[in-house]
Structure 1
Amino acid sequence: MRSILITLSVLGLLWAGLSSASPHDAHVAGASAEASPPVLQVRSVVETSQETLSLYDLIDNAEALPPRWAGAFRSIPLGQSPPVGSEKTVRTDNLGPYLKKVLASLGTDPEQVFLSIPERITLRRKAATVNPHLVEDLYRAYIRDHAPWDPAEMDIRDIVISGLAAIPEGEVTQQIEAPPETSFLGVVPLTIHFFVEGRKVRSLRVAGKVTVRKKVLHAAQNLRRDTVLGPEHLEFREILLSDAAKTYATRMEELVGKRLVRPVNARQPIEMIFVDKPLCITSGKPVTILYQDGSLKLTAKGESKESGAEGDWIRVVNATSQKTLKAKVVDETTVALNP
Structure 2
Amino acid sequence: MRRNRFTQLSQHPFWAVLIIFAGITASYNANANDDYLMQQVHQFLYEETQTLGEEVVIDLRPPSPHLPECVQPEPFLPNANQAPLGRVSVGVRCGEGSRQVRYLQAQIDVIGNYVVAARDIERGTLITSNMLSERGGNLGDLSAQALTAEEDIVGKVAQRSIRSGSAFLAQYLQAPDLIERGQRVTVIAQGSAFRVSREGEALESGALGDQVRVRFGSREIMTARVASEGILVVDF
TM-score of the pair, normalised by structure 2: 0.54
What's the offset of the Cα at 1:47?
1.6
Residue 223 of structure 1 aligns to a residue whose secondary structure is coil
1:255 lines up with 2:153 in the alignment: yes
- C-alpha distance in 2 between matches for 1:338 and 1:175: 46
- Structure 1 residues 176 and 220 mapped into 2: Cα distance closer, same or farther (>3 Å)? farther
Q: Does the 8 A contact of 1:229 with 1:255 survive in 2? A: yes
Q: Which residue number corresponds to residue 140 of structure 2?
A: 241
Q: Which residue number corresponds to residue 100 of structure 2?
A: none
Q: Which residue number corresponds to residue 180 of structure 1?
A: 76
- C-alpha distance in 1 between matches for 2:90 and 2:210: 40
Q: Does the 8 A contact of 1:218 with 1:235 survive in 2? A: yes
Q: Which residue number corresponds to residue 55 of structure 2?
A: 153
Structure 2: state its 5+ residue gaps: 95-102
Matches within 5 A, 1:187-336: 187-188=88-89, 207-237=105-135, 238-241=137-140, 246=145, 248-250=147-149, 252-256=150-154, 258-260=155-157, 262-263=159-160, 265-266=162-163, 267-272=165-170, 274-283=172-181, 286-288=183-185, 299=199, 304=202, 306-314=204-212, 325=221, 328=224, 329=226, 331-332=228-229, 334=230
Q: Which residue number corresponds to residue 24 of structure 2?
A: 127
- C-alpha distance in 2 between matches for 1:136 and 1:264: 48
- Paired residue total: 204
Q: Does the 8 A contact of 1:316 with 1:327 survive in 2? A: yes
Answer with 232-241 or 322-331: which moved more. 322-331
- Structure 1 residues 149 and 239 mapped into 2: Cα distance closer, same or farther (>3 Å)? same
Matches within 5 A, 1:131-146: 142=40, 145-146=43-44
- Structure 1 residues 175 and 248 mapped into 2: Cα distance closer, same or farther (>3 Å)? farther
- C-alpha distance in 2 between matches for 1:43 and 1:295: 86
TM-score of the pair, normalised by structure 1: 0.42
1:47 lines up with 2:47 in the alignment: no
What's the offset of the Cα at 1:231?
0.9
- C-alpha distance in 2 between matches for 1:309 and 1:261: 14
Q: Does the 8 A contact of 1:176 with 1:190 survive in 2? A: no
C-alpha deviations, 1:283-323, integer Å up to 9, x for none? 46x424558797986546x5x553322443445677xx777
- Structure 1 residues 190 and 127 mapped into 2: Cα distance closer, same or farther (>3 Å)? farther
- C-alpha distance in 2 between matches for 1:188 and 1:254: 25
Answer with 260-269 or 288-297: which moved more. 288-297
Question: Which amino acid is the alignment partner of residue 153 of structure 1?
Answer: E
Q: Does the 8 A contact of 2:115 with 2:168 survive in 1? A: yes
C-alpha deviations, 1:161-186, integer Å up to 9, x for none? 5216xxxxxxxxx9883543367542
Question: Which amino acid is the alignment partner of residue 240 of structure 1?
Answer: L
Matches within 5 A, 1:10-25: none
What's the offset of the Cα at 1:145?
3.0
- Structure 1 residues 149 and 337 mapped into 2: Cα distance closer, same or farther (>3 Å)? closer
- Structure 1 residues 316 and 155 mapped into 2: Cα distance closer, same or farther (>3 Å)? same
Q: Does the 8 A contact of 2:114 with 2:139 survive in 1? A: no
- Structure 1 residues 134 and 270 mapped into 2: Cα distance closer, same or farther (>3 Å)? farther
